[in-house]
A and B are shown apart, each in its own frame.
Chain A
Amino acid sequence: MSNVPSNLKYAASHEWVLKNADGTVTVGISDHAQEALGDLVFVELPEVGAHYDAEKEIAVVESVKAAADVYAPIAGTVTEVNQAAVDAPESVNADAYAAWLFKMTPDNIADVDALLDAAAYQAVADAA
């Protein structure tokens, strides 16, 4: 059973989103996603300053067995990336909610509220 913290919002494509006090959001992949991928060995993150529409490919995570795209959960501009996740991809396996991937300034912060809550995402993960 994977861990789905209730203080986060989720995209059906398995990203988690945390609203920060400064108006940005932090994004990573869910515990369910890291478990399905297995041991991660490569993380590729977007350029700071780049703008992405919602559901666009924004990053790549690769495990020993497969490559997976990470999608922008909402539209926004990348403000920061987590180099520590690039340097140690296994940190995402160890704690997918601590090892965030990038931060972005949403075009519209209300988009976050339209994402899945923990219960709805748990249902998505259970069906996968």
Chain B
Amino acid sequence: MLKQTVLNAAHRALGARMVDFGGWDMPVNYGSQIEEHHAVRKDCGMFDVSHMCPVDLVGADCRPFLSRLVANDVAKLTVSGKALYAAMLNEAGGVIDDLIIYFLTDTRFRVVVNAGTADKDLAWMQAKAAEWKMEVTITQRRDGADNLGIIAVQGPNARAKVWQVLPQVKAASEGLKPFFAAEVDQYFIASTGYTGEDGYEIMLPAGEAEAVWNALKDAGVAPCGLGARDTLRLEAGMNLYGQDMDETVSPLDAGLAWTVAMKDARDFVGRAALAANGQQKQFLGLILLDKGVLRGHQKVVTAHGDGEITSGTFSPTLQQSIALARLPLGVAIGDQVEVDIRGKLLKAKVTKPVFARNGKAVI
């Protein structure tokens, strides 16, 4: 039995093509994935991401707990509402999950974790809190009576559309710089996203999600499925857990070194392993020069040894196939490499791992 978000009936009413996404019955598109992609780059689209799991941390030890729990440093969170992207590692330095931490007060943080990893994440957090004797209460907000829905509204016109539908959040949210959040009554409005565009992720009581979704649709916001979400995040060079990294992959080999704070002596889970192993691979982009489509797990042949594509697709913005890949050290941006696609070696160019943001190509 697949799990359903609170918006399941709304997706079906819109004629969405539904798929099993890690045990959740989710919309992959509502017609054309490419049109949904362009709507987000050029105008405004919305995604049901209620399968993702908000986790509320409350207690005197929130900061010391998070400081040991994740590889990024919550000491960077000095202003209320600020958000931090971080990887939660195991002792071997592998990525248990990537998550966003929102700092609300010194005794209250909200963390949002991936759908498929939520159960193991919560178990890990609870175990670590007990082991470290931290005074922190960890409460998931996805399932049960007090659950939240999450609607991501993304694109250059996203803010204006949200204010049109929820005028009461405008004053608190219009000044939000990227990667901040504001709470207005029952609404949690965050200027975060997974598309490379401006916009908000709105957490709200599950019972209100369908009415807000429908109001946004009536305001002209295009419903977008997980298909467009994947091409948008890949163009923006954002990692997908389970594809670009997992428990066997170091954040240093997954392009996440910028989220690993090792400057001071702060102790965090996985630090010793990262220090011992260092960086083994580099995480870069590829653009296919021949015709075809790059896909995850395809082999990349380089002058410095073989690498592997972790995520690949056709980029609607570039009209070319693009990929994120784990390549040997020594490969440089601008190099030409070959990708094994069904036994044929096709030419590709190594790029920075970011292809399009804010409505246009950046490559």
Contact = CB atoms under 8 A, between A and B. Distances in A.
A65 B292 CA distance: 13
For chain A, give the interface size range: 10 to 19
Interface of B: 17, 28-29, 32-34, 227, 230-231, 291-293, 295, 313-314, 316, 321, 342
B18 to A, nearest CB: 12
A60 B342 contact: yes
Interface in A57-79: 60, 62-65, 67
A38 B227 CA distance: 9
B80 to A, nearest CB: 40
Contact of B293 (A35, A38, A41, A93): A41
A44 B34 CA distance: 20
Shortest beta-carbon contacts, A-B, top 9 = A41-B314, A62-B293, A39-B34, A42-B293, A64-B314, A38-B33, A64-B33, A39-B33, A65-B227
Contact of A38 (B28, B292, B295): B28
Contacts of A67: 293, 295
A34 to B, nearest CB: 12
Nearest to B19: A65
Given A38-B33, A38-B227, A39-B34, A64 B295 contact: no
A93 B316 CA distance: 16
A63 B250 CA distance: 31
Interface of A: 35, 38-39, 41-42, 44, 60, 62-65, 67, 93
Nearest to A90: B34
A100 B199 CA distance: 42
Contact of B314 (A42, A44, A60, A93): A42
A5 B1 CA distance: 35
Nearest to A57: B342
Nearest to A66: B295
11 contacts: A38-B33, A38-B227, A41-B314, A42-B291, A42-B314, A42-B321, A44-B292, A64-B314, A65-B28, A65-B227, A65-B313
Nearest to B291: A42
Contacts of B33: 38-39, 63-65
A93 B29 CA distance: 14
Contacts of B314: 41-42, 62, 64
B32 A39 contact: yes
> Which of A35, A38, A42 has the largest count of B CB atoms less than 10 A from its CB?
A38
Nearest to B342: A60
B294 to A, nearest CB: 10
Nearest to B37: A64
> Which of A39, A42, A44, A64 has the largest count of B CB atoms less than 10 A from its CB?
A64
Given A60-B342, A64-B314, A65-B227, A38 B29 contact: yes
A5 B21 CA distance: 32
